[in-house]
Chain A
Amino acid sequence: MPAKVVTITSGKGGVGKTTATANIAAALASLGAKVVCIDADIGLRNLDVVLGLENRIVYDLVDVVEGRCRLRQAMIRDKRLPELYLIPAAQTRDKSAVSPSDMVRLCDELRPDFEWVFIDSPAGIERGFRNAIAPADLTIVITNPEVSAVRDADRIIGLIEAEEKGPPRLIINRIKLEMVKKGDMLSADDVLELLAIDLLGLIPEDEEVIISTNRGVPVALDGKSRAGQAFRNIAGRLRGEDIPFTELEDHQGSFLGQLTRFLRRGGG
């Protein structure tokens, strides 16, 4: 089956595009799928850092596009997951080094050999963003529950619709449950009401993400992390599984819920 090309984008910077790309890709690869990630953030690359593959870069995306190496030579295989590959961005060039049609050609070359191609889009709405969405079969918009991030997500969704890429899916990242409960943070419902697209995942704020990013080990591979579980759920939903949105139930609540259910069953 030819690969599905998925672009992760946000408009605003710093909302978690790269983290999400690394983790969803890692989660899918850990389930045995053949996955390749492309860092389209030329000039400001960091997907390699998050995946912990920084020191193994020899060739990059621009080298492939400009014909200095073959596609296979620029693909770095992950140490932990044999089915996960990265095509890094060039750090010493800028977005104009690659055109949208280059990206389409590159992805067409990858399609027969993989199940998933993930593209990490740069922030903004200019050339880099156009490059990233040009080959996409599916776009994922990621946002934080903050007014500024949601506003930019809305703009990006408008641009994706104008490109006739089909409706994007939404991930809401870094939700702080305590703040939502106190009414100090936008809730997932508030964000969904404004953006009006289908939800793909809810990711709770989790310090493990920062630790794992610094170490270069995707949090999705950590069985105990809540954010990791949320990313694994997203991977499952992309595979077509029907997974309920329970990411935000706090641990205690779900434990008590389980206990009550257990007791009820025991009593009945």
Chain B
Amino acid sequence: MIRVKGIREGLLFLLEEGNWEENRRYLLKLVEEREAFWRGAQVALDSRSVVLCEEEILALKDYLSQRGLTLWAVLSDSPSTQLAAQKLGLATRLNRPPKDKVPSLSTIVHDGEEALLINKTLRSGYRVEYAGHVVVLGDVNPGAEIIASGSIMVWGRLRGVAHAGAEGNTQAIVCALDLQPTQLRIAGQIALTPQRKGKPQPEVVRLQNGQLVAQPWNAKDR
């Protein structure tokens, strides 16, 4: 038996322990019997201990989309299933927006607030969303995005999009060794970077009187 639960994000299909083939047959029957009823639904699949490979998830996703259902998340107890889902750009947790791709990261606690440490260069197409501060040891290339509810610190070149204080925190800051973002936002304010004159230097951006202001990093102001 596959159980179906209504959740905030749509529907959750809970698989039964056992093999995928039986579950799959039952699921297809379930969907086909009441096709009109399911149409347009956002579906999350909880595979529990049933292990799914990338092709199986892809085949299911294709099948569901032909019938008007969107598979956006695959939850699982199995790391290999989670990885397969991530490769297909699906969410693996319910409380995260889909297509959230977070590369090799570890969480550290600083001043009682959570921060995410990303120990690599973020290339075009990477999107990091985090409820807290984000620290990058590496560059943020054009086409990459960081969205943080706290501050963003880049120990490298910041050339992509950075949005600090994404949930309205006007105290959030953005700083980088070389600040050349495509676009920079703090809380609700947006700024484009003017062309650099002279040599790059560490800078910090704050929200002052409703405007984004960039200043050279200066220990004396601290």
Within 8 A of B (CB), among A197-240: none
| Cα–Cα, bound, A162→B141 (Å) | 16
What residues of A have a CB within 8 angstroms of the CB of B121 in the complex? 196
Knowing A99-B55, A194-B141 are in contact, say whether A154-B103 is a contact too (CB < 8 A): no
Which chain B residue has the least Cβ–Cβ distance from A147? B142
User: Among B87, B103, B143, which residue has its beta carbon within 8 angstroms of that of A155?
Assistant: B143
| Residue A169 at the chain B interface, CB threshold 8 Å | no
A21 to B114, CA, bound (A): 48
CB pair B124 A158 closer than 8 Å? yes
Let me know if A151 is at the binding interface, CB within 8 A.
Answer: yes
Asked whether B103 lies within 8 Å of A162 as measured between CB atoms, the reply is yes
- Closest Cβ of chain A to B97, distance in Å, is 19
A221 to chain B, nearest CB (A): 36
B124 touches A154 (CB 8 A): yes
Residue contact A154 to B141, C-beta cutoff 8 Å: yes
On whether the beta carbons of B103 and A151 are closer than 8 Å, the reply is: no
B132 → A minimal CB distance (Å): 23
Could you tell me which residues of chain B, from 82 to 120, have a CB within 8 Å of some CB in chain A? 87, 103
Residue B124 contacts which of A99, A155, A162 (CB distance < 8 angstroms)? Answer: A155
Asked if A158 contacts B55 (CB within 8 A), the reply is: no
Chain B residues with Cβ under 8 A from A161's Cβ? Answer: 123
Give the residue name and chain of the A residue nearest to B121 (CB): A196
Number of A-B contacts (CB under 8 A): 28
Task: Answer whether A154 and B55 are a contact pair too, CB < 8 Å, given A162-B103, A194-B141.
Answer: no
Give the complex CA separation of A161 and B126 in angstroms. Answer: 12
Which A residues are CB-close (under 8 A) to B210?
A: none
A157 to B141, CA, bound (A): 12
Contacting residues, chain B, for A194 (C-beta < 8 A) = 141-142
What mask results when residues 170 to 197 of chain A are scored 1 for a CB within 8 Å of chain B, else 0? 0000000000000000000000001010
> Which of chain B's residues have a CB closer than 8 A to the CB of A158?
123-126
Q: Does A159 contact B (CB under 8 A)?
A: yes
In the complex, are the beta carbons of B124 and A152 less than 8 A apart?
A: yes
- Within residues 132 to 188 of chain B, which ones have a CB less than 8 A from any CB in chain A? 139, 141-143
Contact, CB under 8 Å: B143 / A151: yes
Chain A residues, CB < 8 A from B126: 158
Query: How far apart are the CA atoms of A158 and B103 in the complex, in Å?
Result: 10
Closest CB-CB distance, A85 to chain B, in whole Å? 29
Instruction: Name the A residues within 8 Å of B123 (CB-CB).
Output: 154-155, 157-158, 161
Report the minimum CB–CB distance from A105 to chain B (whole Å). 14
Closest approach, in angstroms, between the C-beta of B53 and any C-beta of chain A?
10
A161 to chain B: closest residue by CB = B123
- Please name the residue on chain A nearest to B120 by beta carbon: A161
Listed residue (A152, A161, A194) with the most chain B CB atoms within 10 angstroms of its CB: A194
Q: How far is the CA of A159 from the CA of B143 in the complex (A)?
A: 14
Give Cα A232 to B141, complex, Å.
32
How distant is the Cα of A162 from the Cα of B125 in the complex, in angstroms?
Answer: 12
Q: Residue-by-residue, is B49-80 near A (CB-CB < 8 Å gives 1, otherwise 0)? A: 00000010000000000000000000000000
Enumerate chain A residues within 8 angstroms of B103, measured Cβ to Cβ: 162
Bound-complex Cα distance A151 to B142 (A): 7
CA A161 to CA B103, docked complex, whole Å: 10
B contact residues around A99 at 8 Å (CB): 55
Interface string of B20-36 (1 = CB under 8 A from A): 00000000000000000
Hey, which chain A residues are within 8 Å of B55, CB to CB? 99
Q: Complex Cα distance A253/B82, Å?
A: 57
A237 to B142, CA, bound (A): 30
Task: For the complex formed, measure the closest distance between the CB of B72 and the CB atoms of chain A, giving whole angstroms.
Answer: 18
Q: Which of A126-175 contact B (CB under 8 A)?
A: 151-152, 154-155, 157-159, 161-162
Report the minimum CB–CB distance from A232 to chain B (whole Å). Answer: 31
CB-defined A-B contacts under 8 Å, sample of 20: A151-B142, A152-B124, A154-B124, A154-B141, A154-B142, A154-B143, A155-B123, A155-B124, A155-B125, A155-B143, A157-B123, A158-B123, A158-B124, A158-B125, A158-B126, A161-B123, A162-B87, A162-B103, A194-B142, A196-B121
The 8 A-B residue pairs with the shortest CB-CB distance in the complex, in nearest-first order: A158-B123, A154-B124, A155-B124, A155-B125, A154-B123, A154-B141, A151-B124, A151-B143
List the interface of chain A (C-beta within 8 A of B).
99, 151-152, 154-155, 157-159, 161-162, 194, 196
